[in-house]
Chains A and B, each alone.
Chain A
Amino acid sequence: MENSLPKPVSELGATRSTSRGSLKFIIGGLLILAAVIYLIVASLIAPGGTQYFLTVEELNNRAAEMVGREVRISGVVLGDTIEYNAQTLDIAFTVAHIPGDNQEIEQLGGLAVVLKKAAHDGSLPRLNVKYNGPKPDLLKDEAQAIMTGKMGADGTFYAEELLLKCPTKYEEAIPEQSAAK
């Protein structure tokens, strides 16, 4: 291959009509484009392709409509409510409402503050959650839970996926224990 002779560019395909030549490339490109669009659309429509991202309040308000639908919920874990059966790996806990809008959270003083307040505010909407699996390391009081799953007809949310963000990970403005020097 290294010793094959170079040919001048003009020799290649110079005899062909350019419009016919480029037409097949345009068709080929369009086919690939169509395939990509088809894949995106088909994957979005397929079950489990998309999930509504709701707050606890929104889910409670639309509970009937959401039964059996795949949804994603964000809330704050109430530490006292966590029940865990190490034999069956059944986990039950309650989450309380936190705002879904990041700007709203920023205005309220940041996520760590919002989580802390929401975990101790009895007036906020709450939701019972059930999940089966190893208890995640971060499942504890004031953690933010992001859950994917389905609303049951019994008003309990059956989570299939449980992701947790822990308030200790957020950079605090001021350390709690510090001595003036």
Chain B
Amino acid sequence: MIANFGFGTLIISFVVSLYGIGAAVYGARRNALAWAESARAAMLLTWPLLTLTAASLIYLLVTGHYEVQFVYNVTSNAMPLYLRVTALWGGQAGSLVFWSWLMAAFASAVTLRSWERDREFQPWVIVVSLVTLAFFLGLIIFLENPFVRFWQTANGMQVVSMFQPSGGALLLPPDGRGLNPLLRHPGMIIHPPMLYLGFVSFVIPYAFAIAALVTGRSDDRWIRITRRWTLVAWLFLSLGLVLGSRWAYDVLGWGGYWGWDPVEIAAFMPWLSGTAFLHSVMIQEKRGLFKRWNLILIIITYSLVIFGTFLTRSGVLSSVHAFAQSSIGPLFFGFISVTFLISMALLLHRWNDLRSQGHMTSLLSREALFLVNNLLFMGILVVCMWGVLFPLVSELFTGQKVTVGPPFYERAAGPLFGALVFLMGIAPLSAWGHSTVKTLGRAVWKPSLAALAILIVAIVSGVQNGAALAAIFVIALTACITVYEYGRGVAARMRRSGENPLAALWRLAGRNRRRYGGYIIHLGVTLMAVGIIGIEMFQTETQGALKPGESLQLGRYAVTFRSLAQFDTPDGRSVARAVVGVSRDGQPLGELYPRRDFYYDTQQPMTIPGVRSSIEDDLYVLLVDWQPISSEGATFKVYHNPLVNWLWVGGLVFILGTFVAAWPSREEPVPVRVPAQLVTEP
């Protein structure tokens, strides 16, 4: 039986993990190399074992073994192969298997690296990875087993159980309930794995941080080893967030992309602390400051990763609008508390060894501005945390459950984001060690003029909202400075080596990938900010019932209802598809096809917008309702989302920049601390 086989491999990998933890601790304590080596072998064994587990589950999903409860819940006969495979992360139990499989893969990959210079880290990295893995495997085995099956007992009772009850027979439903149609979208197929990859790879820097604390190695070796892991984790987490937003925009049909839902926030919080970490490790590398702070940041990030997995574990939807409650909740919180307290205790134990080598002197120095950046990221994190915890806190103290909505987050986090964007422009211009208003001003004034010009253009073109104007100026300033920085680098190279601009740009980015990759990321963020300002502050909407030939007007656009057709598709949907004509200022721009799909298997409709996208704006048309006889009319809701595509383009640029920064470079960064005055060339 495949289900029993899958469950068996799960149990074996759990036992192997527990053994690995014991062997690694013993090996490290007694300095017994053989035991440490055995722990490493155990670590390496978990991945093939869990591959078998995942493969068994995928086999059951693909072949439609509906007697398995998980398969019954997430697949149906009508679903195509690729959706049956990806249904692995369509439910909670499968998600946890997938998470564990990724965790084992990453941890194994790390144990394969060459450990010559840091042999003492290895057992402890294995311990941390395996403790995390064993926790998840334990959850799966004891509470969220994806292999449990339906049985009919001798007395006619129906039960769910892993093993055959005495006299029981398997129940075989003819069809499953099918994956929620909202999840049948390419964005939703890639989004959870990306998020999970991000979560999982943040465990690696945490494992090294703990290894450094346990072994008492107080230099920045753990940061240098895990620099690329952190970037990769961050890359996947960012990708996951962007894809999730895009999915919401395409599928949820409310014309938005982010709703400050607890689940979204849960995925966003580790990103915030991870981003702070990513920046502040640079200060430790360059100046030897913030050693304790970096450890605190990675410990917080790890806790938030586990918390995020808990909140998002079951796919977005079953918990999208409220806190998910299940038996595994307290265990998650228990695990997070215990690991957090142990990590902090270790940190306090080594507190005095982790003194900064040197101190900050200038408020405008690069390290000081990085510190401000960190405080702002943590500020946003506190806002998010407070919003998520507020209902619990208020219930505790007043007995009254009070929740906060998107307006709270927007008002509280908006200015902090604005300040971050501004800082993003200024900070790269300041020097390590010491900067003054004068040196900064000299670097800033030219881009400031360009930003001012953009601001004037915005005012002339009719933008009156003060907050929007402030945002536009800050974004423009940061974008101009970033481009200007690039331009100066390229110009200097061209002068020195006579390269053409493109070659100079390529080599420049290639020589200092982290720096110039970072600039590309910053540029991506400014583009995304433009899109966010556009949709948040200038979105307009209208709705109305139209007879064929009638139009809805929204700003310069007119949407004309032409016709509507209803038909069945081979994959089990009933589709109602409207044809609407779109024109701007009387000029026809073509047709859109907003539609409503009704899924027979889950008895659930799904609204798919017709969208006309351009760099300037999106016209987003929803088919809301229609009369059975299509000639009578249909109701539409129309959104005008200015500049929203800048958000997606910015997202792409952002991801590209992360690739540039994370790409292995031929010349490894100099392992010597350089407190250089990075005063840029004239």
Chain A residues proximal to chain B, CB less than 8 Å:
1-2, 4-10, 12-13, 16, 18, 21-22, 24-25, 28-29, 32-33, 35-36, 39-40, 42-44, 46, 48-54, 72, 74, 84, 86-87, 89, 100, 102-103, 105-106, 133-135, 137-138, 146, 148, 161, 163-166, 168-175, 177-181
Interface presence of B18 (CB below 8 A): no
- Which one of B383, B413, B677, B680 lies within 8 Å of A7 (CB-CB)? B677
Task: List 24 A-B pairs, Cβ < 8 Å.
Answer: A6-B674, A6-B675, A12-B358, A40-B412, A42-B411, A44-B404, A44-B408, A49-B405, A49-B407, A51-B404, A53-B401, A84-B625, A86-B625, A102-B325, A133-B637, A134-B624, A134-B635, A164-B321, A165-B321, A168-B603, A171-B73, A172-B73, A175-B66, A178-B158
Nearest chain A CB to B564's CB is how many angstroms away?
13
Q: A7-B677, A21-B360, A87-B635 are in contact. Are A100 and B158 (CB under 8 A)?
A: no
**Cβ B407 vs Cβ A174 within 8 A:** no
Q: A25-B363, A29-B375, A40-B383 are in contact. Are A49 and B404 (CB under 8 A)?
A: yes
**Cβ A28 vs Cβ B372 within 8 A:** yes
Nearest chain A CB to B494's CB is how many angstroms away?
15
Which residues of chain A are within 8 angstroms of B681 by Cβ–Cβ distance? Answer: 1
* C-alpha spacing A133/B321, complex, angstroms: 19
Q: A39-B415, A179-B173 are in contact. Are A100 and B359 (CB under 8 A)?
A: no
**Closest Cβ neighbor of B171 among chain A residues:** A178
**Cβ A12 vs Cβ B434 within 8 A:** yes
Which residues of chain B are within 8 angstroms of A52 by Cβ–Cβ distance? Answer: 400-402
Interface presence of B554 (CB below 8 A): no
* Residue of A5, A103, A135, A181 most packed against chain B (CB within 10 A): A181
- Total contacts A to B, CB within 8 angstroms? 205
Interface presence of B87 (CB below 8 A): no
* C-alpha spacing A179/B158, complex, angstroms: 11
* C-alpha spacing A9/B174, complex, angstroms: 73
**Cβ A181 vs Cβ B545 within 8 A:** no
Would you list which residues of chain B between 155 and 180 have a CB under 8 Å from chain A? Answer: 158, 160, 169-174, 177, 180
* C-alpha spacing A29/B20, complex, angstroms: 44
Say what secondary structure dominates the interface of chain A: mixed
* C-alpha spacing A20/B325, complex, angstroms: 51
**Cβ A181 vs Cβ B67 within 8 A:** yes
Interface presence of B678 (CB below 8 A): yes
**Cβ B405 vs Cβ A178 within 8 A:** no
Which residues of chain B are within 8 angstroms of A105 by Cβ–Cβ distance? Answer: 325
Nearest chain A CB to B375's CB is how many angstroms away?
5
Interface presence of B497 (CB below 8 A): no
Would you list which residues of chain B between 647 and 682 have a CB under 8 Å from chain A? Answer: 672-681
**Closest Cβ neighbor of B372 among chain A residues:** A32
**Cβ B678 vs Cβ A1 within 8 A:** yes
Ranked nearest first, the 7 interchain pairs of A and B with the lowest CB-CB distance are A13-B361, A134-B624, A43-B411, A36-B379, A53-B401, A43-B412, A102-B325
- Which one of A50, A84, A174 lies within 8 Å of B403 (CB-CB)? A50
Would you list which residues of chain B between 66 and 98 have a CB under 8 Å from chain A? Answer: 66-67, 69, 72-73, 91
Which residues of chain A are within 8 angstroms of B548 by Cβ–Cβ distance? Answer: none
Interface presence of B150 (CB below 8 A): yes
**Cβ B152 vs Cβ A180 within 8 A:** yes
Which residues of chain B are within 8 angstroms of A35 by Cβ–Cβ distance? Answer: 379, 415
Q: A166-B604, A171-B91, A181-B172 are in contact. Are A9 and B321 (CB under 8 A)?
A: no
**Cβ A163 vs Cβ B321 within 8 A:** yes
Chain B residues proximal to chain A, CB less than 8 Å:
66-67, 69, 72-73, 91, 150, 152, 158, 160, 169-174, 177, 180, 287-288, 317-318, 320-323, 325, 357-363, 368, 371-372, 375-376, 379, 382-383, 386, 390-391, 400-405, 407-409, 411-413, 415-416, 433-434, 511-512, 543, 545, 602-607, 622, 624-627, 635, 637, 672-681
Which residues of chain A are within 8 angstroms of B363 by Cβ–Cβ distance? Answer: 24-25, 28
**Cβ A6 vs Cβ B171 within 8 A:** no
Nearest chain B CB to A100's CB is how many angstroms away?
7
* C-alpha spacing A132/B443, complex, angstroms: 53
**Closest Cβ neighbor of A8 among chain B residues:** B675
**Closest Cβ neighbor of B159 among chain A residues:** A174
Q: A44-B408, A50-B402 are in contact. Are A13 and B171 (CB under 8 A)?
A: no
Nearest chain A CB to B593's CB is how many angstroms away?
17
Q: A4-B679, A174-B160 are in contact. Are A39 and B172 (CB under 8 A)?
A: no
Which residues of chain A are within 8 angstroms of B677 by Cβ–Cβ distance? Answer: 4, 7
Nearest chain A CB to B641's CB is how many angstroms away?
17
Q: A8-B675, A50-B390, A89-B635 are in contact. Are A22 and B171 (CB under 8 A)?
A: no
**Cβ A175 vs Cβ B407 within 8 A:** no
**Closest Cβ neighbor of B287 among chain A residues:** A9
**Cβ A32 vs Cβ B606 within 8 A:** no
**Closest Cβ neighbor of B411 among chain A residues:** A43
Q: A134-B637, A175-B173 are in contact. Are A51 and B405 (CB under 8 A)?
A: yes
- Which one of A4, A164, A166, A181 lies within 8 Å of B171 (CB-CB)? A181
**Cβ A173 vs Cβ B160 within 8 A:** yes
- Which one of A40, A138, A165, A170 lies within 8 Å of B604 (CB-CB)? A138
Besides A42-B412, A52-B402, 14 more A-B contacts (Cβ < 8 Å) are: A9-B357, A13-B361, A16-B361, A39-B383, A43-B409, A44-B390, A51-B405, A105-B325, A138-B604, A169-B180, A171-B91, A177-B174, A179-B173, A181-B170
* C-alpha spacing A10/B287, complex, angstroms: 11
**Cβ A53 vs Cβ B391 within 8 A:** yes
* C-alpha spacing A174/B69, complex, angstroms: 8
**Cβ A102 vs Cβ B607 within 8 A:** no
* C-alpha spacing A49/B386, complex, angstroms: 13
**Cβ B543 vs Cβ A134 within 8 A:** yes
* Residue of A72, A170, A175, A179 most packed against chain B (CB within 10 A): A175
* C-alpha spacing A13/B432, complex, angstroms: 12
**Closest Cβ neighbor of A181 among chain B residues:** B172
* C-alpha spacing A166/B383, complex, angstroms: 30
Which residues of chain B are within 8 angstroms of A22 by Cβ–Cβ distance? Answer: 359-360
Which residues of chain A are within 8 angstroms of B170 by Cβ–Cβ distance? Answer: 180-181
**Cβ A169 vs Cβ B403 within 8 A:** no
Nearest chain B CB to A33's CB is how many angstroms away?
8
Which residues of chain B are within 8 angstroms of A86 by Cβ–Cβ distance? Answer: 545, 624-627, 635
Which residues of chain B are within 8 angstroms of A28 by Cβ–Cβ distance? Answer: 363, 368, 372
Which residues of chain A are within 8 angstroms of B67 by Cβ–Cβ distance? Answer: 181
Which residues of chain A are within 8 angstroms of B624 by Cβ–Cβ distance? Answer: 86, 89, 134-135
* C-alpha spacing A52/B170, complex, angstroms: 48
Which residues of chain B are within 8 angstroms of A177 by Cβ–Cβ distance? Answer: 173-174
Nearest chain B CB to A158's CB is how many angstroms away?
16
* C-alpha spacing A125/B679, complex, angstroms: 71
Which residues of chain B are within 8 angstroms of A138 by Cβ–Cβ distance? Answer: 604
